[in-house]
Amino acid sequence: MKFWNTPLEGLIVLEPQVFEDDRGFFYESYNEKTFQTLGIDDRFVQDNHSGSKRWVLRGLHYQICHPQAKLVRVVTGEIFDVAVDIRRSSPTFGKWFGIILSAANRKQLYVPVGFAHGFLVLSEWAEVLYKTTDFYAPQCDRVIIWNDPSIGIDWPLNGHEPILSPKDARGALLENAEVFP
Active site residues: 61, 130
What DSSP designation does 167 have?
H
Query: How many C-beta atoms surround the C-beta of residue 21 within 10 A?
Result: 7
Cβ neighbours of residue 73 closer than 8 Å, sequence gap 6 or more:
29, 101, 106, 107, 108, 109, 128, 129, 130
Helix residue ranges, H only, 26-171: 32-37, 166-169
Question: For residue 146, with 0-12 CB atoms within 10 Å meaning exposed, 13-18 middle and 19 or more buried, which class applies?
Answer: buried
